[in-house]
Each structure stands twice: as C-alpha cells, then as structure tokens.
Amino acid sequence: MPTPITVSIINHKGGVNKTTANLHIGAGLAKLGKRVLVVDLDTQMNLTHSLIGDLPEDEPCVSDVMIKNQIPLHNIIRPTSVPNMDIAPSSESMVDLEINLHAAINREHRLKIALAHPELKKYDFIIIDNGPHIGNAALNSLMASQFYLVPVSAEYLPLVGLTHLTRTIAQIKPFNPTLQNIGYLLTMVDRREGISSEIEAVLRETFKDEVFANIVRINTKFKACPQKRQTIFDIEGPTGKGYTDYLNVSKEFLERVEKAHAKN
Ligand SMILES: Nc1ncnc2c1ncn2[C@@H]1O[C@H](COP(=O)(O)OP(=O)(O)O)[C@@H](O)[C@H]1O
Ligand SMILES: [Mg+2]
C-alpha cells in the first residue's frame, strides 16, 4: 500500500461530526499503531482547538504553507497529546485562504504539493478536516486525497446534500481519478428514536455497502472533548460507548482501505 494514505473528511453540512470523526478516527488509527497526521483546513479551527488550543495568528499554519509556497509543511506540524498523532494546524489566517488562492497559479494543487514532501513519508495516514463550504480549501483537500469519508448525522438526512456532494466528486474525478469514497459514516445514532432508524434504513438502502457497518451512537461525553483537549479514548474506558464505537469504526476504516487497495 502506498503511504501516506490521504483521506478527506467531507460533507456540505455543518454539525454532522466531521471534526469529531477526524479526531477520533485519527486517534483510533494511532491506537492501532499507525502514524497519523491530521490537517485542519476549516476556518472554524475546531480540530486545532480540540488538540492543541488556539494558535497565535502570527504563527504560520497550513494556509500560510498553501499561500506562500515557501514554508515546507513539516515546519508547521506540531505533536499532540495523542501518541503517534501530529497536527498541521489552522489559525485565524485560514480566513484569508479562499481570497489568496483565488488567483493563485496551480491553486487546487497547493496542498497536494505540500503533502508530497519526503518528510511526510513517515506517516501512514493523513486525514484532512474540512468546513461545510466546498471552495478552494476543500478542492485542495479532495485533489490531494485517495479517499474521502462522509459523516452523516442520524438526526437529519440531507439526501439532496449528499447528491450535491456526489456531483462535486464527479467534477473532481477527471483530475484525480484515484479518488474513492471510503464510506458514509452514520453518527449520533439513537436507536430509541424512530428517526434514527429511518435514516439508517434509507442510507443503507441508497448507498448499500458504501455505508460503514459500524455506527457512532449519540453520546454527550463527546461535547467535553474539545475543552479538555482530550479524546473519547481518554475520557472513557475501553467498555465506554464512544470508545468502543470509534475503535470499531477505525478498525473498519483500515479494512475498507485494504479492500479498496486489493481491488485496484
Ligand atoms: N456521538 C456524538 N453524540 C453527540 N454529540 C456528538 C457526538 N459526536 C460529536 N458530537 C458533538 O456534535 C457537535 C458537532 O460535531 P462536529 O464534529 O463539530 O461537527 P462538524 O465538524 O461536522 O461541524 C459537537 O458539539 C460535538 O461535540
Ligand atoms: Mg468541523
């Protein structure tokens, strides 16, 4: 398998657990012995905030790497409290990324070029967190990725939104033919609620085995993670709901990546 394997976490909708999935699949893979880099491409900086706190605006972040083309990405990487997992953080200057990339040469490939640096070969996985807006930042993410993962909240199923995402991906594919869906991940599932089961049924009927077999159950403990700069693996023990869910999702993620590579 060629490494690093790069994965975009993407969905046009906010609040569907993109950042939480990024953080916990990253930490889950690290727990399973993989070396992981997470990249924060969201102007909201939630992933950065959850792992290392807010970066001072004058510290270079991933947008400076992409805009200026002079700072190698490994110069901005920071360790996190999760063993085996580092972060390429975002800061306030991320807000300028869209404007500054607008007229830049090779603007969709800036992240791909930055991630190709030999210093990053030590990572098994690079997982990129995206905001809900598909602009230059998300295009860079998808152009740099072999896989994308779509978290879908079991509270509300925006099937129209998912159709839009499929259309966006279809537009990108001619320019990145290796891009594949690693799966739809159902999050915030509450099986006592009829709506949760209905959404799960529709999603599985529509997307078949593109949907992860494992799901993430609703669990208020996740809300405490960002402020404590901890993951659910620190907050809960191995029998905890969130701990079990994300460890299972991370194992399935590895199986799905291996299966995709075996097919190609
Ligand atoms: N399994 C879960 N159950 C309940 N709330 C969750 C769960 N996972 C994450 N959350 C919370 O849901 C909110 C939105 O999640 P987030 O990952 O920030 O979404 P996005 O990045 O897609 O906007 C956050 O407050 C987060 O703590
Ligand atoms: Mg987010």
CA of residue 143 to ligand 1 center, whole Å:
26
Rg (CA), the chain: 17
- Residues 46, 48, 51, 57: is their CA dihedral positive or negative? negative
Predicted pLDDT of residue 203: 93
Helix axes of 241-263 and 18-31: crossing angle, nearest 10 degrees: 80
Predicted pLDDT of residue 169: 96
Considering every ligand atom shown, identify the ligand nearest to the alpha carbon of residue 14 and give its number: 1
pTM above threshold 0.85: yes
SS3 of residue 9 by DSSP:
strand
CA of residue 156 to ligand 1 center, whole Å:
14
Residues with CB under 6 A from ligand 1: 14-20, 46, 187-188, 216, 218-220, 222-223
CATH-assigned architecture of domain 5-263: 3-Layer(aba) Sandwich (3.40)
DSSP state of 55: P
Predicted pLDDT of residue 263: 84
Predicted pLDDT of residue 57: 77
Q: By alpha-carbon position, which residue is closest to atom 11 of ligand 1?
A: 223
Parse the chain into domains and list their residue ranges. 5-263
Q: Which of 12, 16, 19, 20 to mutate to test the pocket of ligand 1 (most atoms within 8 A of CB)?
A: 20
CA contacts within 13 A on the Cβ side of 41: 33
10-residue mean pLDDT series, the chain (264 residues):
91 94 98 98 96 88 91 96 97 89 92 96 98 93 98 85 91 96 97 91 94 97 95 97 98 97 84
